[in-house]
Amino acid sequence: MFTGIIECVGRIAAVEPRGGDCRMRIAAPDYLSGVRIGDSIATSGVCLTAIEIADGTYVADLSAETLSLTTAGSWQVGRAVNLERALTPDKPLGGHLVTGHVDGVGHLLEKTEDARSWRLEFEAPQELARYIARKGSVCVDGVSLTVNAVSGVRFGINIVPHTAAHTTLGELKPGDAVNLEVDLIARYLERLLSSREEA
């Protein structure tokens, strides 16, 4: 589990195709102290397992499913990625509960300045839109955000200067693809209600 509060921005250092899936090396100097092999690191919202740690980098295997269902399939060397280590009992829950299991890929439609902040409008896949509610939570590329507005498959968020400067969201451009994870509670609530109706 994660919180969606980004701790570091790393960069893809190497991409090694391996017969349909791939292995990636992610550079994060001065961030990996205390990280051990087998630990989970949310990488732009995708939960990856560190299988090697050396020289300020970690290595992870990405399955064919991960590559096809997230933006990871398009990651190239040099790309910036948001990083967060797994939640521990002594870590503040500053964002919301995030699993690192990406639900789908959305796209940035508009980006406009609002005083010192930015307003971003995204389009979500149709099947995810019902889980996104005004003043609810959504995870975009691993970042926990509050939804400001919803209209059909579109939703808007606001990022303050700190978020723009310390995550990859400040560099997004209209048309860019992003990993989306909808609120965990919304998914379980729907399942509970549908089970009740079936009964």
pLDDT digits (tens, 9 = 90+) for 9-27: 999 999 999 989 999 999 9
Residues 111 and 188 in one domain: yes
Q: How confident is the model at residue 171 (pLDDT cuts 50, 70, 90)?
A: very high
Q: Which of 131, 194, 183 minimizes the C-alpha distance to 4? A: 183
Q: Are residues 80 and 121 in the same domain?
A: no
In a domain, 97, yes or no: no
Specify the amino acid at residue 85: R
User: Same domain for 71 and 110?
Assistant: no
132 and 191 part of one domain: yes
Looking at the structure, tell me whether residues 69 and 115 fall in a common domain: no
Confidence of residue 37 (pLDDT cuts 50, 70, 90): very high
Decide if 96 is inside a domain: no
Instruction: Indicate if 130 and 191 belong to the same structural domain.
Output: yes
Domain enclosing residue 110, as ranges? 104-198
In this predicted model, what pLDDT tens digit does every residue of 47-72 receive, in sequence order? 999 999 999 999 999 999 999 999 99
**Residue 193 in this model has a pLDDT that exceeds 70:** yes
Contact 128, 138 (CB under 8 A): no
Please check whether residue 144 lies inside any domain of the structure: yes
**One domain, residues 78 and 129:** no
Comparing 50-54, 134-138, 195-199, which segment has the lowest mean pLDDT?
Answer: 195-199
At 105-133, the pLDDT tens digits run: 999 999 999 999 999 999 999 999 999 99
pLDDT of the residue at 198:
66
Total domains, the chain: 2
* Residues 22-33, mean pLDDT to the nearest whole number: 95
Q: Which amino acid is at 69?
A: L
Is 35 a domain residue? Answer: yes
Q: Residue 175: which pLDDT band, with cuts at 50, 70 and 90?
A: very high
Q: Average model confidence (pLDDT) for the chain?
A: 94
pTM: 0.93
Q: Over the chain, what HEC string results? A: CECCCCCEEEEEEEEEEEECEEEEEEECCCCCCCCCCCCEEEECCEEEECCEEECCEEEEEECHHHHHHCHHHHCCCCCEEEEEECCCCCCCCCCCCECCCCCEEEEEEEEEEECCEEEEEEECCHHHHCCCCCCCEEEECCEEEEEEEEECCEEEEEECHHHHHHCHHHHCCCCCEEEEEECHHHHHHHHHHHHHHHC
Percentage of the residues of the chain whose pLDDT score is greater than 70: 97
- In whole angstroms, what is the distance from residue 114 CA to residue 25 CA? 36
Query: Which has the higher per-residue pLDDT, 194 or 81?
Result: 81
* pLDDT class of 196 with cuts at 50, 70, 90: low
